[in-house]
Structure 1
Amino acid sequence: MVGEAEESTASELAEVEDFLNTILATPVMTKTFTFLINNGHITNSTSVLRDTLMELWFNFYPRSSSGPTDSCGFEHIMVGELKRTSTVSGFHSWIQFYLEEKNGNLILENIIIKTEPNMIATAFSWHENKKTKSAFFLGTSPEFDMAVYSICALVRRDSLCKFTLEDQAVSIQTWDIAHKSGYQIG
């Protein structure tokens, strides 16, 4: 819940390490690494990429400048966050959408737009909290989603990130958390 302090346990940190080890070994992340090096966004070191992904996705930060440390990029984008205002923040993963709908925790209210081959925007209720619009890729791997959001956060921070996916124009928006030093996806 946004507004409630969080921190990672030793077990959660071990899961993050295992997850990073797994995705960093994929062709998607190898291509991401090469792209970021070739375009001057990171140095030629896998430890720099790992540290960058850790900072972007797993370091906790406060969602508001005066609030508790209550969020991280992975939670916001891949899982979704409940707000005290009975709304949903983030939630841009088709896998999470599928699992939550399958478990009866999510009710699809509207498909706002669907573009072929891989994008959809929906309105839904999750644990009785409303999300008026959430866009996400369909059928992509978690490492693909993390690669795209990471590249956009590093290359087009706080701006629209436009690219082509299977001959279709796509644009996504990433935000840095301005009141926290370093890079975070929020």
Structure 2
Amino acid sequence: MIAAARKLWTLDENRLKPGVDYAINLQKGKAIWQRGDHAPEPLFKGVKREIWTKPTFVIFYNLLDNYERETGVSEVETAQEKKEISDFLDACLRTKVMQYTHKYCAKKGKAPADVAGFKKLLHNMWFSFYRRDGEGNDSCGFEHVFVGESKGEAITGFHNWIQFYIEEARKHVDYLGYVRPKHGRDDADNEDRLISVQFAWKGEEKNVSTFFVGTSPEFELALYTMCFLCSEEEKTFLEIGPYDLNIVCYRIRSKYGDKVATAYPDLLGEDPSNEFQHLTIN
């Protein structure tokens, strides 16, 4: 799967360029156990408006306000929200990264060969509601991973840079500093594409959240889907760009098909030689 993940990275045509399409300001790093605000300035200095001309970015944005923030509060899905989900999956399925993921998973026998069947599988995995906390269906994989949830006084999930950028611009997120990688160099720079951060969201803190920066919504959905469907392990080691990482996936077991409980990157370190590995997978 390492070669397949590298292939996805090269196929992500909608990925933004650091310093060109967006700029971040990491500021001071910290160890994972350290608390307090190490970053007086926001994480994002800016993102070009042109990103909202990309169909998957626009439809992804429309999905972000569809969910109840608190776990334990039952979700209610409107007809408009159902259409937004269908439109988002259709837009993703038109991209090279998701088409490659479909082909890869179908070849492994983990997904239907037809597009309609694969879309139905994606919908069940990511958007079908289940009970996380309380008595009603209060969560789904997409909400947890890409939007984030509040449980008690803690933030869970929230592993997407677009959601972070939007909520920070609205003054709902307070960036508290980046968390140094477990291995490799001790610092980071403002062109890093995978970062671990601490932040507070509407006053509730997330001790560490790792997410890609500048990647397209379809790339992240495709990568997590591939690992969820095709790996037997909860942690799948990959080399993407210059990064050594695990993709961590947990599932909700169901007789109607497993659903995503969470999926996120776990940054292990950086190895620049990864970017120059030869791709041998079709």
TM-score by length of 1: 0.92
Determine the structure 2 residue equivalent to 1:18: 87
Distance 1:180 1:43, change over 3 A: closer
Deviation (angstroms), 1:75: 0.6
Determine the structure 2 residue equivalent to 1:98: 165
> Contact conserved, 1:79 with 1:93, CA < 8 A, in 2?
yes
Deviation (angstroms), 1:104: 0.3
- Aligned runs of 1:15-164 on 2, under 5 Å? 15-64=84-133, 67-83=135-151, 85-113=152-180, 117-156=192-231, 159-164=234-239
Counterparts of 1:113 and 1:47 in 2: how far apart (Å)? Answer: 42
Q: What do the CA deviations read for 1:62-120 (whole angstroms, capped 9, x no partner)? A: 014x632000111100100111x211110000110111111100001120036775211
Q: Secondary structure at the match of 1:71?
A: coil
> Contact conserved, 1:157 with 1:176, CA < 8 A, in 2?
no
Q: What do the CA deviations read for 1:21-60 (whole angstroms, capped 9, x no partner)? A: 1111011111111111122211311112101110111111
User: CA RMSD of the aligned region, Å?
Assistant: 1.8
Task: Give 5+ residue unaligned stretches, structure 2.
Answer: 1-69, 182-187, 262-282
**In structure 2, what residue type is equivalent to 1:107?**
D
Return the index of the structure with the highest Cα Rg: 2
Q: Secondary structure at the match of 2:260?
A: coil
Identity of aligned residues (%): 35
Task: Give 5+ residue unaligned stretches, structure 1.
Answer: none
Counterparts of 1:179 and 1:31 in 2: how far apart (Å)? Answer: 26
Counterparts of 1:148 and 1:113 in 2: how far apart (Å)? Answer: 23
> Contact conserved, 1:158 with 1:176, CA < 8 A, in 2?
no
